[in-house]
Amino acid sequence: MATNILSTANPFLLPSSSSSPSSSPSLSSATLTHVHHHIKCSVKRQLTLCKAVNQTALPTLTKRDLSISFFTSFVLSLAGKGCLDANAAILEADDDLELLEKVKKDRKKRLEKQGVISSSTKETGYLQDVVYKLSEVGQAIENNDLSTAGSVFGRGKDTDWVQKANIALNKLSSSPEEKSEADTFSSSIASLISSVSQKDVESSKLAFVSSASAFEKWTSLTGLVAQLKGL
């Protein structure tokens, strides 16, 4: 083991001249001076290199440099915020205009609808008769008295009040939703008449609920619900 340690030792630590096996190895003054000088130069070169790297990687910033950088960032942030505020204001103005246009259109439609309803007193009377007739049919079906319900319909779908009801619904329906409910009422009342004529209590009840619901929805859409009694 001792042989291995000695064989890997730094050569400049060994004396230059051979020594006898019986004498202890010693270092001369010149050798010590050389080693000391070598270590000192090595340390000095490392310190110089570290200083150069630090000076290159981390430039010195003065207070004036920091102030200019902060002021520039602040101005840019204000400019960006101003652009965002301006864009937001434009979008908000567009939304307001669209909302105003929609309100105007809706108001115009309501006024037109009110004008049509006001000039359609005859059709309004037809619809008021529907409310009364449906009330009679509903009471009769609730009592399982389909004979009385059948007498209200008279000639079935050709009875006078049923035909007038369909005429009024078609005339006063303007929007797709109103027309859809008018069609639902027409088909439901036809099913109700058929069920009553066949003495089918359960089917009559279902058809009556469908007819009454469609009529009520239609009057709500058209604004006639407030003008008809019994709803």
Q: Kindly tell me if the per-residue pLDDT of 124 is higher than 70.
A: yes
Identify whether the C-beta of residue 218 lies closer than 8 Å to the C-beta of residue 169: yes
CA distance 140 to 149: 5
| Average pLDDT rounded to a whole number, residues 156-161 | 91
Q: Kindly tell me if the per-residue pLDDT of 47 is higher than 80.
A: no
Whole-prediction pTM: 0.54
pLDDT at 33: 58
Joined together, the tokens standing for residue 59 give 């430039």
CA distance 87 to 101: 21
CA distance 192 to 203: 8
Q: Kindly tell me if the per-residue pLDDT of 37 is higher than 80.
A: no
The overall average pLDDT reported for the chain is 74
Q: Kindly tell me if the per-residue pLDDT of 12 is higher than 50.
A: no
Residues near 120 by beta carbon (within 8 Å), at least 6 away in sequence: 168, 171, 172
Identify whether the C-beta of residue 182 lies closer than 8 Å to the C-beta of residue 127: no
Identify whether the C-beta of residue 117 lies closer than 8 Å to the C-beta of residue 172: yes
pLDDT in tens, 78-118: 556 555 666 666 767 777 788 877 787 767 666 666 666 66
pLDDT at 26: 47
| Average pLDDT rounded to a whole number, residues 122-126 | 92
The SS3 assignment for 71 reads helix
Residue 26 has φ and ψ, to the nearest 5°, of -140, 155
Q: Tell me which of 62-71, 142-151, 168-177, 184-193 is least confident.
A: 62-71
CA distance 193 to 157: 7
